[in-house]
Chain A
């Protein structure tokens, strides 16, 4: 039954390619997408009791390839289908002159590879599907064939191939140690092996996973490759929303597998540095989409902090932040697409007056911005509250500083809301099919905040509670940080030449690969000595 979840997107892809870009094809795509979404909701409910397992090809337990859904992967599958549904509705009236058939063919193949990744119960399937999704992603980012995009796409692909070889050799060590590649068996078997023998495979695999998560020092390949000016907005939305999530899913799986290795502090520190660095880089950018992309790096750092902190509340907060980040980032990217089409430029210094020109889109974007900065009653505050729940005071200060960084970069972003601008782009008025998904996701940003604990319970089966005093304290801190952020932006950040140059920092391919070696060595030394 689970095989259908993977096959249906491929069938949709072929269907769209054959039927070409007329209305029937797109309506069918939206219909099938909704069916997939309903199926994934059903799976989330069904995996509350037990995992669903399918043996591909109806072989026996030991011999076959397994597709497995546990409650964690069910949530990721739900996210995938939901975001793809929103994107399909958004681009119902895609009137771009590019070859739309091929574009949608690739997008649905991408969806199939993501769903396959979350359903795979076998480490080698994960390797194959990671490679497939990387490849399709690269082709999508180079879609407009501009030389700059091709160059960055090439760097992206080459770096990913290098990193995949690390993964392969790590897999080889795991296979030799445990004799199995099935994820459950590997987890059981690795639990019996003492941590000191696992150092090399662990470091090899975590180098790969950290690279794909865009942790420090690997932060620079993704924004440049993903969204340099002309990549289609829906691609940027999918990539920022979902690609990072696949890497985080792998991170969670591998941390579970190698439970005998105590590397929590290492990833905590890495998460903190990533969060700070991402926020600083986001502040320096002048293109709306680049602000959002670097900000994703910062949020991934925050999620890693939540997952590595070690307490139940922060783990739940980290997981919920994955969901909330997907929600508000996709909202922001889609509404940014509408704004860019309306104004004809993506320069944050030139766009003004979004609230007046497109009020509905403006409200939804404002909801997403409030969500992302952690305003009370919005979705971001719940997850940030849980991540910092029982943290030692130093970590509390760090998360407040991270939120401050987020607020400053979004003060910069929200300068597009008010004021007046004469620019008019090629699609001046936002179309209904584009407003609907943006508005829905903006509403979810609000609902996810108001009903945060219920969402966490239904999605992840964690029973967590918010104390009113703590939450009120957090809200007070938010208001103070918002004011501080606004002041800092006006006086320090605006027009700062140093920051402008920092924003153009770019790692070449060789530096990216060299940083791989640095990370590998540092992690190996850390594991070796602790």
Chain B
């Protein structure tokens, strides 16, 4: 009996010891997480011997619950940058260990004390060529229902993007966007409210445009890229493309912090970033990544369209998240 118990105990110890070489990565699922698994996790597992467990989708409520309860099962999480800034302020995140994660090649726009860039993307104007007469050239066309009739689709939740689009369409110059004039934005949005179909996830935005259910809309560039790869006849206007970023964070109290930092180093390396960008159409946050990519893959990135590109102000959004959300839902549900 004693022998069996000792054996069991040894087995348990071995199991916990084995667990030390594991870590959990959480992202948004779908094609994006698949690309992250293939480009980051698989090579990292091979080189480090640390097993990367995939989990998802990212859920900010769950992240907060884990930290509050002191039982954090996620080690690296892919989140939107404005959330990361706010979460750091609320004490939900570990600082990034830049002794392990090389900082020199990182795009400074997308990394800070508590977050390191994951990838960056642009909101672009995409349209179904069968459903739209002519070629829209900028956000103002989405508000011109005479010239461009049909439903238009926008991101449903309160997040950087739609407010800026309305202001740009109303003639606000790109460098005067912030602080956001919410009254003016909602007034502009009122003019097309009944023509809007909202999308709440990437797959839905693709379905709406591909089926012609919405003639055009504000989409993530990677989703348009995927539609075009599938042979769907979709047009895209890069003029006034709006950049935003996803970042990788380590929740406060993560159990495998050491492994997490090593994973971050691999994920943000030029090679990891190049592979992911090629697979997803989203832009790398490592300045050295493009050198490792095929030329035609580079052409599909937001990087190739810096002319007319506008950076959404993540710090402004982190600061005013709740206030804008209150206005947003009040307007939307009215």
Q: Are the chains A and B members of one assembly? A: no
Write the residues of chain B forming the contact surface with A, with a CB cutoff of 8 angstroms: none
Write the residues of chain A forming the contact surface with B, with a CB cutoff of 8 angstroms: none
